[in-house]
Each structure stands twice: as C-alpha cells, then as structure tokens.
Structure 1
C-alpha cells in the first residue's frame, strides 16, 4: 500500500470514529407540530320538559251587589290544585358556562275559593284555569363533574291566564236570616300577567349532543281578574269583573331533554414544540 492510500484510509477511519461525537455536539432544532383541536361547547339547541306543579294557595277578593250598592269582600282562601305541565323551547349556548333560551309552556289547574260571608252564610267557588306561558330564560352552568353539570337560572315573561266558568254555591244555615242556598254560574275571564321564575338543577350528558335535565323551578304569576257577574247581577246592572285573584306562587319539579344541534365546536390549541436533533453535515469523500 502506498503512502497516499495509507493516509486516505486513516482519514476515513478517523471520520468514522469521530462522526457520532460530532453529531451530539450540535444544538437541537425545535419543530412546531400541527395545532390540535380542543372541544368547547356552544351552539343552538332545542328542549322539551315535563313537570309536576304542587298545590298552591293564594288570596283574592270579589265584589258584591246588594240593593244597588257594590261592596268588596276578601276570600278566606283560594287553592290551585297541582297538575302536570308541559313546555318546549329553543336556545343558544354562548360558551361552556352561559346559555339562554325562550320557552312556551302550557298548564291547567282546578281552582277552589271559599269565604265566610257571615256566621250563617258561606260561599264556595269552583273553576278551572288554563294558561300559556312565554318566558325568556338564562342559565349558568357552574361546573362539570364527569357527566353531571349543576346549574342555576332565572326567567322573565308573561302568562296568559284563562278562567273557565266559575260555579258559585251559597250555603245558608239560617234561612230566616239569609234565605235559601243557591247556585249560580259566573263567566270566566282572561288576563295576561307578568311572570318571573328561578331555577336550579343538574344536566346529565347522554351523548355529546343530548342532555337529560333534572330541575326545580319556582315561579310567581301576578294577580288579575278571574270571573264576571252572574246573570241575576247583570240584570240588576252590574258590569265588569266581579272576582280577582292575587296571583300564584308555583313550586315545580321538572325533567326534560335538550339537544344541541351544533355539538362541540373546535378551538385551536398550540402544543409545545418538539426538539429534533440535527445530525450535522454529511462527510465529504475525496
């Protein structure tokens, strides 16, 4: 082997041994990976609810025509019997914590009123109430534990209350003083009343889009006119409403379904860059 060949072989062998050490001496080059999506709930939704409202009591008053003179009397009690309620609605989730919707509800109740006009004369009134309720509601989803999200909320709106025919029965226990007992029909009246509500409950995720809602709702419906005069009093010249209620406070438990159309939307999350080590320049052979 000539001297030139020995020198070339020694150089190649030295480059082979030194290559890994040289590569380790280079600084790392950081490469930014592609952005990864993270789910953030938002979008339009529909909802439907079924509830049970408990018995409620309120007060009220009515007018009495006696010998051409109208006086006012207070009911001793007015009772609104519990029943099943229904509502549907549409809304929008703004972010993970805030959502709002508009709901249309329907309910009907039996209503009873009673008063002692004197020691020997008592009145009992029976009727039915039906109502359509339109509400604007807002909710705060507090936090999520697994698939359960508790919430609080409030609503403002109006309720169209319609009384059916009211049957008035008078019981006289001393005919020599108040005459005989009698029954009379009074036409029911309608009124639109301001309503507010407070809600609390929890949502359970069935799927990413479908939610099961369990909740409690307290609502207060402002008072208004209830019924008119009977035919006898109308013939005597009585006009306008005869009876009024002072409004209703309703306690209700509800269960419902909510379907979020858009499902989760995607937000961009930039992860930390990952280091990639440069192995250095390739050897040059001569």
Structure 2
C-alpha cells in the first residue's frame, strides 16, 4: 500500500512541478529589463547663416522755423569803405525735407549710415541802423544739400519696438537765391531815401552736426518704420553780395553773412534690411540634451 501511494504521488507531482517551473519562466519573460543608460549628449545646433547687415533708408521730415543772427555791410561811396551792422533777427522758415541713405548694422546695438538730404526754405532778415533812423528788410530763399555720416545705438527691444539714440557729422552746401533788400527812413532827413535793391545770392559749404532720438517699429523681418526727432546745427557762412550800385561804386566780396542755424525736426521713414531676420538681433539658442534610450520592456 505504501508503495502504491508513493507511485501515485510521484506521478502527479511531476506534471505539477513542471507547470510551476513553466509558469515561473513565463512570468520572468515580462520582468522589465533596463538598458545601461548612456551619458547625456549635447547636440549643438547648426550656426545661423551669416547675413549681410546692409540696409537702405528713406525719410521725410518737417523742420520748424529756425532763428539765427547775422551781419551785413553798408557801403560808403565817399570813403570807399563799408560799415558792418548786425541783423536783429534772421529767420529760416520751416519746410519739408527729404533724405535717402545707405547703412550697415554691425550687431544688436550698433548701426551706422550715410545720408544725403535736400531742403529749400524762405529766409527773412530785419535790422535797424544809423541810430534806428533806417530799417532794412531782406527776403530770400535758401536751398541746401546735406551730407552726413551717422551712428546709432539701439537701446533695447520691447516686442516690435526698439528705441534708439544717435549722432552725426557732415557738411551742408547752402545756396542763397537773390536777396531782395528794402530800406526806408524812419525819420525824414537829408540824404535818406527809400530804395529797393537786389543782391546776388552766394554759396558756401558749412560744417554740420546733429543729434537724434526715436524708435524703430518692425513691420516685417526686413522692413522697419522709423520715427524720430533730430536737432542739427549748421555753421554760419556767406549769404549774399553787393547790389549793382555798390558794385559800381567799388564794393567787392561778401556783403551779408549768417551766423548759422539750429534746426529742430521731426521725421518718419522706412528702412529695409537686406539680411532679413538674420540681420537683426537673434537670441542665443539653448543647448538640446540627449538623455539616451528609454527602458525596454520584454
């Protein structure tokens, strides 16, 4: 009896153990197996393409009335000499100005350009002489070509708006038209008569400096709208010569001069940067990390 029980137990225990072993092996097949992690790899982004920083610009400005000083000579036929008097005021009437230019952006903050501008304005001068017994009233027109080299600092960018400051140095070629001179006597007396006379305008090249401030608004990646304020100072120079009667009496050279003008101006324009987005400031890209393969489940 005992041997039969042992045979039955052995007969059933064999398949049972085999099933347990097979089940354990199957369960082992679903256990997670982790691959050895690799060290993080920093993937460097490709450098941005080098783009030209060249740009073109065009501006339209409005210059306000500018007041200045000056002087003129009065010819004395008897002595053959001239006496110099100061103008009470010379006024350069405000008008519209136009300018074009080409420039280069060096980096996020610094750019520079060369500009050529043209303007034309009316000029008025008035004064009294000889103890206020004679009053002079002069009218003319002045036109000018202005050539400037300018540098700008772009301060900081908020969205699409970038404020800037700048300065420039250059020259202005000022050409006066015919100056019409009228004088009249304030007190009647011998030797004083009213008269009209024309004086030929003169041309001179004057040193000019300017200060600017404004803001740039991005319309597109390449097109910028520029709005700003500009103050420029034009050095003094010769304005007009002697009239026909004075020339006939022996006068020569320059009769009238201005002492220069300080001009306040507001202007607006467009700037096109050929480099597109690459010509403007680009933030430094962040590095990309490769963490290695994820765990593999079998």
The answer to whether TM tops 0.5 is yes
Q: Pairwise mapping of residues 158-177 of structure 1 onto structure 2 (< 5 A)?
A: 158-177=171-190
Q: Is 1:84 paired with 2:96?
A: yes
The answer as to whether partners of 1:30 and 1:273 remain within 8 angstroms in 2 is: yes
Q: How far is 1:178 from its partner? A: 4.2
Q: Distance in 1 between matches of 2:164 and 2:191?
A: 57
Q: Is 1:257 paired with 2:270?
A: yes
Task: Decide which structure has the larger Cα Rg and report it.
Answer: 2
Higher strand share: 1
More displaced 10-residue stretch of structure 1: 38-47 or 111-120: 38-47
Q: Which of residues 91, 96, 112 is equivalent to 2:124?
A: 112
The answer as to whether partners of 2:60 and 2:267 remain within 8 angstroms in 1 is: yes
Structure 1 stretches lacking a partner, 5+ long: none
Aligned to 1:147: 160
Superposed CA offset, 1:184-237 (max 9, x none): 000000000000000000111111111111100000000000000001111111
Q: Distance in 2 between matches of 1:279 and 1:111?
A: 86
> Would you say how many aligned residue pairs link Structure 1 and Structure 2?
279
Q: Is 1:57 paired with 2:70?
A: no
Q: How far is 1:272 from its partner? A: 3.2
Q: Distance in 2 between matches of 1:178 and 1:138?
A: 57
Aligned to 2:86: 74
| CA 1:12–1:36: 2 relative to 1, 3 Å | farther
Q: Pairwise mapping of residues 1-286 of structure 1 onto structure 2 (< 5 A)?
A: 9=22, 12-13=25-26, 15-18=28-31, 20=32, 22-23=33-34, 26-33=36-43, 35=45, 43-66=53-76, 67=78, 68-118=80-130, 119-265=132-278, 269=285, 271-277=287-293, 279=295
Superposed CA offset, 1:122-151 (max 9, x none): 000000000000000000010111111100
Q: How far is 1:173 from its partner? A: 3.0
Q: Distance in 1 between matches of 2:191 and 2:104?
A: 61
Q: Distance in 1 between matches of 2:243 and 2:29?
A: 115
Q: How far is 1:273 from its partner? A: 1.2
The answer as to whether partners of 2:44 and 2:288 remain within 8 angstroms in 1 is: no
More displaced 10-residue stretch of structure 1: 72-81 or 268-277: 268-277
The answer as to whether partners of 2:52 and 2:274 remain within 8 angstroms in 1 is: no
Q: Distance in 1 between matches of 2:224 and 2:172?
A: 27
The answer as to whether partners of 1:133 and 1:159 remain within 8 angstroms in 2 is: yes
More displaced 10-residue stretch of structure 1: 116-125 or 131-140: 116-125
- Residue 245 of structure 2: SS of its match in structure 1? helix
- Residue 276 of structure 1: SS of its match in structure 2? coil
Alignment root-mean-square deviation, CA:
2.8
Q: Distance in 2 between matches of 1:31 and 1:64?
A: 88
